[in-house]
Amino acid sequence: MRNQTYILSKLVEIAVIFFVIMTALFFLFRLSPGDPISKVVDPMLTPEDMRYLIEQMGLDKPMWEQYVIYLKNFFAGNFGVSFHYGEPVFKIIKERLGWTILLFTSSTVLAAFAGVFLGKIAAWNKGSRLDSVMSISALVCYTLFIPWFALLLLWVLGFQLGLFPLGGILSPELWVGNASWFVKVLDIIHHMVLPLMTLFIINLGSYLLLMRSSMLSVLREDYIITARAKGLSERVIRNKHAAKNAALPVVTSVGLSLAFSINGGALTEQIFTWPGIGRELIFAVSNNDYPLAQACFLLIALVVLVANLIVDILYAYLDPRITY
């Protein structure tokens, strides 16, 4: 019962924040240099098409009416027509969203689990060679510049060693032919390895370091002495008592570093030509495809907010001290 009200209040909060962002974007559009109409309707269209779209978007109406139509359109899924593709933006985004979520979620989850696991070991062996190696490696990972690292991986593993494809999500030959469903999935995974590895390694660094320091402070707590006094083995103490408590701040940090992860995700998508929203946004911005850019941006904002919500709920579920 309590948890439901919590989730509900959080959903309302997200809605409000998103609303604020949408409004901010609306006004930014109007404030930016250039004719606002040319930002929504492709100036290359024929005058009749332009007039149709202008009417549909309500661009000839007063500001506040435009705003209402803008909101209505958004919730109806009408994001306008992409200048570049000449198709409804909604259609384009729909195809892209799934790929981004796939890459983003899998890399975050894998990095979190690996970070917790390795950080636990590093803290347990504090001061040893193993710990130094792990900590330094994690530090290096944390400060890597993503595009550079991605390019390096691409160069070494993709180009020099030829182990992985250089981009995209699938090899067209396989898909045009009659390959089985299993082979197709394998192909996607094959293409996913390098971008996944990039994001995984970058995120792993920060989670490992955080888990390590969290674990070190947990190990100083009194309930660890109690556990020892009960005669528990070191392994049980480490995993059941220490790690469970130490992992909690890491969950929180996953939420906090979502912004950083999304930035990284966009860059990774760009380099590996992974057809996700991040890449689409970059593309749209480079080509002045305003409707597409705007929609990609709003969608990314929404993904960030929802992801934060999921992390918050997860944390509340894991920590019995949180009550609402």
Using CB under 8 A, which residues numbered 155 to 214 contact another protein? 155, 159-160
Residue 262 phi, psi dihedral angles, 5° rounding: -70, -40
How many residues of this chain bind another protein (CB under 8 A)? 72
Instruction: Give the span between the Cα atoms of 303 and 151, in whole angstroms.
Output: 26
Q: Which CB, 187 or 269, lies closer to another protein?
A: 269
CA–CA dist 81, 92 (Å, integer): 10
Residue 235, interface with another protein (CB under 8 A)? no
Nearest to 302 by CA among 77, 3, 64: 77
Residue 308 binding another protein, by CB under 8 A: yes
**Piece of 4-12, 27-35, 40-48, 77-85 that binds another protein (CB under 8 A):** 27-35
Footprint of another protein on 111-150 (CB under 8 A): 139-140, 142-149
Q: Which of 6, 10, 25, 314 binds another protein (CB under 8 A)?
A: 25
12 binds another protein (CB under 8 A): no
Residues numbered 242-281 forming contacts with another protein, rule: CB under 8 A: 244-245, 248, 256, 258-260, 262-263, 266-267, 270-271, 278, 281
When binding is defined by CB under 8 A, the residue of 297, 310, 314, 315 that contacts another protein is: 297
Nearer of residues 26 and 175 to another protein, judged by Cβ: 26
Residue 142 to residue 203: CA distance in whole angstroms:
7
The binder of another protein chosen from 221, 249, 273, 313 (CB under 8 A): 221
* Helix pair angle (181-218, 89-124), 10° resolution: 40
Q: Crossing angle, helix 89-124 and helix 258-271, to 10 degrees?
A: 120
Cα 233 to Cα 50, 119, 210, 241, 303: the distances in Å are: 74, 20, 25, 11, 43
Q: Taking CB under 8 A as the rule, does residue 226 contact another protein?
A: yes
Interacting residues with another protein between 55 and 74 (CB under 8 A): none
SS3 assignment, position 276: coil
3-state helix, strand, coil split of the chain in percent (to 5) is 80, 0, 20
Nearer to another protein, 169 or 307 (CB): 307
